[in-house]
């Protein structure tokens, strides 16, 4: 069930940014967005359809009008356009929701209003700064050695996994993603397959500056590839060019990634509203072995932000090159772990002090924020999953990957006496994590026994048509003839 104590809620990207310039505006941590009072999300019992649920609710309360306009595919969760009695306040709408649910109708599971997130440009002061042209320089950034990445990559590179990025889209032509884009991406902002990280003219926060967060998704995705260069990326656009989106749209994006059969989902987005729709999508993902990673937020406080604060999500804080809490990063009981995410953002980016990633147009730059710490952890999750093609798509796999990461973090109490104990398990250590598991098997070795033979063929045929399966060798979301062809290619 959602928390309605805070009617106004914010869905905010955990990094505010621009390219080659700095924008200054109000702090997103103190400027929540407004509820969408005419958008009602209704979860019914199994098999319940939207029209039936709308008719039931209208019959209970004369004067309301509900029209189903969207649905989480295959799930009894519906979005409805709502018209309330003209004299109702927002508080009365919320009271009606509570009273209706309290009646205990078997046809209803839960209801909530949708929320609109707004990201004032600049926010915490974090930005993108471009000016790099050499991707080899990017590979030398301080995060590499902090998380012992070279040693980790000698054991696993993430091959065979797909990581979904819930964000502003992706520059599909950037060399960072050559040959690494998984089929099936979608833009849930416009309802089209165009997942490009683009200027769309959006000034959805109303601050007079459009497209303030174009490039965010490209940068986030490149951090996953930095850590797991063998992983494929599934871009799912849930935020506009100004970095704003609806919680319903985020839920749609997560469910899309689940149905697409990904192994990891990165959500560099925060909200002070605990959405039941997003929670339902995440719960389904983790029940299928999918690891969900989220940014903890840039409020420099203990603010409880979602989805990072969920118990089945890895909530990630940011550290600097000296293994101290980044000045902007959240901390406290809801943090699971930390990862490098801070840059000075002054002058030409320096790999020794900066977090470096891809920007649209084939560019590279520096960034700072928990938005970029989260995908480092998502990349490590992909490494672990790639080590274990034999693991099944179930809750046990999700838990095993999380525990592999959390139990091998580096303690930060010495490097950061003030905050080290408030950054969860510590800073992620990619090598220590993958060292607990086997060398990543060759592609096609589905049981990890060191050979590609009849046993692996049997596994593939048994899982024919499956969506969630390591036998989906080409990462297209289904085990089929294309995967059989690849297996035969690798035979022996």
CA dist 441 and 474 (Å) reads: 15
Phi, psi torsion values for 319, nearest 5 degrees:
-120, 165
Cβ atoms of 422 and 334 within 8 Å: the answer is no
| pLDDT under 50: residue ranges of the chain | 1-27, 118-126
0.85 surpassed by pTM: yes
Q: 397 burial class (0-12, 13-18, 19+ CB within 10 angstroms)?
A: buried
- The arrangement of strands across the sheet holding 77-83 comes to 65-71, 77-83, 35-44, 108-115
The CATH number that domain 35-115 falls under is 3.30.70
User: CATH 3.30.70 occupies which residues in the chain?
Assistant: 35-115
Question: For 118-215, where are the alpha helices, taking DSSP H only?
Answer: 135-138, 142-146, 149-153
Q: How is domain 128-434 classified at the CATH fold level? A: Rossmann fold (3.40.50)
Q: Which residue spans of the chain are classified as CATH 3.40.50.200?
A: 128-434
36 class by beta-carbon count within 10 Å (0-12 exposed, 13-18 middle, 19+ buried)? middle
What is the enclosing helix (H) or strand (E) of 162? Answer: strand 162-167
Q: What is the pLDDT of residue 26?
A: 37
pLDDT of residue 18: 29
Query: Which element (helix H / strand E) includes 54?
Result: helix 50-60
> Among 80, 63, 62, 59, which residue's Cα sits nearest to residue 71?
80
Classify 186 in phi/psi space as left (phi over 0), alpha (psi -120 to 50) or beta: beta
């Amino acid at each position: 069930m959602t928390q309605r104590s805070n009617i106004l809620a914010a869905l905010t990207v955990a990094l505010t940014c621009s390219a080659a310039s700095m924008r200054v505006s109000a702090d997103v941590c103190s400027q929540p967005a407004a509820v969408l009072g005419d958008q009602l999300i209704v979860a019914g019992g199994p098999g319940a359809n939207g029209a039936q649920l709308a008719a039931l609710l209208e019959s209970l309360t004369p004067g309301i009008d509900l029209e189903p306009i969207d649905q989480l595919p295959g799930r009894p969760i519906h979005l409805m356009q709502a018209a309330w009695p003209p004299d109702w306040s927002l508080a009365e709408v919320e009271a009606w929701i509570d009273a209706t649910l309290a009646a205990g109708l078997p046809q209803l599971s839960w209801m909530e209003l949708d929320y609109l997130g707004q990201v004032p440009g600049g926010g915490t002061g974090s930005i993108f700064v471009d000016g790099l042209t050499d991707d080899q320089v990017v590979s030398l950034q301080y995060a590499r050695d902090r998380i012992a990445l070279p040693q980790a990559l000698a054991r696993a590179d993430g091959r065979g996994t797909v990581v979904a990025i819930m964000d502003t889209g992706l520059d599909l032509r950037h060399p960072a993603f050559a040959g690494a884009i998984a089929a099936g991406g979608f833009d849930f902002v416009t309802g089209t397959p165009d997942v490009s990280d683009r200027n769309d003219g959006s000034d959805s926060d109303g601050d007079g500056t459009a497209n303030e967060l174009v490039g965010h998704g490209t940068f986030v995705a490149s951090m996953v590839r930095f850590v797991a260069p063998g992983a494929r990326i599934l871009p799912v656009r849930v935020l506009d060019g100004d970095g704003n989106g609806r919680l319903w749209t985020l839920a749609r994006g997560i469910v899309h990634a689940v149905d697409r059969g990904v192994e990891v989902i990165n959500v560099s987005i925060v909200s002070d509203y605990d959405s039941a729709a997003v929670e339902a999508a995440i719960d389904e993902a983790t029940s299928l072995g999918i690891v969900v990673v989220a940014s903890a937020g840039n409020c420099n406080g203990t603010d409880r932000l979602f989805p990072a604060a969920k118990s089945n999500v890895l909530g990630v804080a940011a550290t600097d090159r000296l293994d101290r809490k980044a000045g902007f990063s959240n901390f406290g009981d809801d943090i699971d772990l930390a990862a490098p995410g801070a840059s000075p953002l002054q002058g030409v980016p320096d790999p020794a002090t900066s977090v470096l990633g891809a920007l649209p147009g084939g560019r590279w730059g520096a960034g700072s924020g928990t938005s970029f710490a989260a995908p480092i952890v998502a990349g490590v999750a992909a490494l672990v999953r790639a080590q274990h093609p034999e693991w099944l798509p179930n809750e046990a796999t999700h838990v095993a990957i999380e525990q592999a990461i959390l139990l091998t973090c580096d303690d930060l109490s010495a490097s950061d006496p003030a905050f080290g104990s408030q950054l969860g398990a510590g800073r992620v250590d990619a090598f220590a994590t993958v060292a607990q598991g086997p060398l990543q098997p060759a592609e096609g070795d589905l049981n990890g026994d060191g050979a590609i033979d009849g046993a692996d063929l049997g596994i593939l045929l048994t899982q024919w048509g499956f969506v969630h399966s390591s036998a989906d060798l080409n990462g297209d979301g289904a085990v089929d003839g294309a995967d059989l062809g690849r297996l035969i290619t690798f035979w022996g």
